[in-house]
Amino acid sequence: MTTFWLGAALLVLLCMVVLLRPLLRGAAPVRDVDAVPASEVYRDQVHELDGDLRRGTLDASQRHAAQDELGRRLLDDGAASPSAGAGAGASQGKGARRSPLLAALLLAAVPSAAILLYLQLGNPLALWRPGDMGPMAKEGMGHELSNAQVEGLVNQLAQRLRAQPDDAEGWYMLGRSYAALERPADAAVAYAKAVELVPDEAMVRADYADVLASVNGGSLQGPAQVQIDRALALDPDQPKALALAASAAMERGDKAQAVVHWEHLLALLPPQSQTAARIAASLAEARGETPVPVAGAAAASVAGRVAISDKVARKPAPDETVFIYARPVDGSRMPLAVLRRQVRDLPLNFKLDDSLAMDAGHRLSSQQSVMLEARISASGNAISQPGDLVGKAGPVPLGSSAIDISIDSMLPPAGSKP
């Protein structure tokens, strides 16, 4: 992202140099073609003196004295001649006139116009990579930057899509962005538009199914299952669709079908990858075997402390519900473990493990690292709502026991729907 803006700034700078240079530099002095050089006047007067000498009007001594006088006048005129100086100054001023006002207007207008045009016609959100927020979050700036910058970029993208409703890639990007911002209802609307424009993209349908499950309280049945089936019909090897299909099968108690999907997915993954290890653990559990612990996991739990920041946007009531949950770093957004408390319990020491799993086939122990979130809900709804207070941490390795989660931001109102 930094490279893009540096390149853009350099191009704007080059453009400004080209535009401003002729406005700010002085033109070459303009010569007055009507002016007669003093040297020519001197020569004419000398010729007249020679003529007077031949005619006898002047003698040699008088001619010499007159020529000396003409020479002094020539020197005086060359040093400072009022008429010559005024004419030269006027000519030079006229030829070298600058336009500082026009230059200042261009200096303000061109960069501003370039930025506004890009924000209107471009796709600023595409500049953000998943790793962009990592270093900033480590410095304790993640929430502020997420709210101030990512939210702004998402809103700009939504506004652009109102004018360009046939941009399938833009709708897909908007859906992913809303999902990342814990706005599943808005994400579902954006994904529905993307699916309408590109109905044969299996990945889009898989992501759509994921947010439909979030809207449906975490259940993959119903509308989410329809999208999963359609995605697999389009691409039987779509990894996310296979994972969601396996979880949906476990949800309805069909372990045999879950095994089929997980075996298929496991065959597509690099054998030594962390994802393969997690799928193998879920597969073993579905078969009724003892799950193989994921390498590197010190214990099948994460623990820490949740508190409300002093900078939170609103003061929650003591009886509002607090949800503390862990989610996979990638893949389905269905929680791996959920703990429910009330605001009056905060600050709170917590521990999440497999005993708090929502789905037997979707456990904390199948992960190597997780994302943690604490959310205060005035309605007590398990689905995120505008006005909920949230705090996040992660990714954190399984076995971590000193995680601090500060509830310090609020989900925005749903007034910026596309």
Helix (H, G, I), strand (E, B) or coil at 366: helix
CATH number at residue 154: 1.25.40.10
> How far is C-alpha 5 from the chain's CA centre?
11
Whether residue 272 is found in the same domain as residue 157:
yes
Residue 85 lies in a domain: no
Higher pLDDT, 320 or 334: 320
Considering the domain architecture, whether residues 282 and 307 belong to the same structural domain is answered as no
Q: Could you tell me which residue, 59 or 407, shows the higher pLDDT? A: 407
Instruction: Give the model's confidence band at 414: pLDDT under 50 very low, under 70 low, under 90 confident, else very high.
Output: low
Q: Across all residues in the chain, what is the average pLDDT?
A: 75
In a domain, 134, yes or no: no
> DSSP labels for 45-74?
HHHHHHHHHHHTSS-HHHHHHHHHHHHHHH
Residue 70 pLDDT more than 60?
yes
Q: What is the pLDDT of residues 200-241, one digit of tens each?
A: 999 999 999 998 988 887 788 899 999 999 999 999 999 899
The tokens describing 1, both together, are 């992202």
Q: Is the residue at 277 inside a domain?
A: yes
By three-state DSSP, how is residue 32 classified?
coil
Instruction: Decide if pLDDT at 190 tops 90.
Output: yes
- 68 is written with which tokens? 């000396």
Domain identity same for 181 and 305: no
Q: Is the pTM of this model over 0.85?
A: no
Same-domain check for residues 308 and 278: no
Residue 362 falls within a domain, yes or no? yes
* Same domain for 374 and 254: no
The tens digit of pLDDT for each residue in 125-163 reads 555 444 444 444 344 444 444 455 677 788 888 888 888
**Domain enclosing residue 241, as ranges:** 150-286
The pLDDT score that the predictor gives to residue 121 is 56
Q: Using omega within 30 degrees of 0 as the cis cutoff, is the peptide bond preceding 82 cis?
A: no
Kindly write down the DSSP assignment for every residue of 169-197, as one continuous string: HHHHHHHHHHHHTT-HHHHHHHHHHHHHH
Is residue 84 in some structural domain? no
Question: Could you tell me the CA-to-CA distances from 304 to 69, 87, 358 in Å, in that order?
Answer: 105, 86, 20
Q: What is the largest CA-CA distance in the chain?
A: 141
CB 332 within 8 A of CB 247: yes
**Could you give the dihedral angle defined by the CA atoms of residues 343, 348, 352 and 356, in that order, rounded to the nearest 10 degrees?**
-40
Contact indicator for 361, 247 with CB cutoff of 8 Å: yes
Instruction: Determine, yes or no, domain membership for 75.
Output: no
If asked whether residues 233 and 320 sit together in one domain, one would say no
Backbone angles phi, psi at 143, to 5 degrees: -65, -45
Percentage of the chain exceeding pLDDT 70: 66
pLDDT tens, residue by residue, 267-290? 888 877 767 777 787 777 777 765
Query: In total, how many domains does the chain have?
Result: 3
- Secondary structure (3-state) at 141: coil
| Parallel/antiparallel/unpaired status of strands 348-353 and 369-377 | unpaired
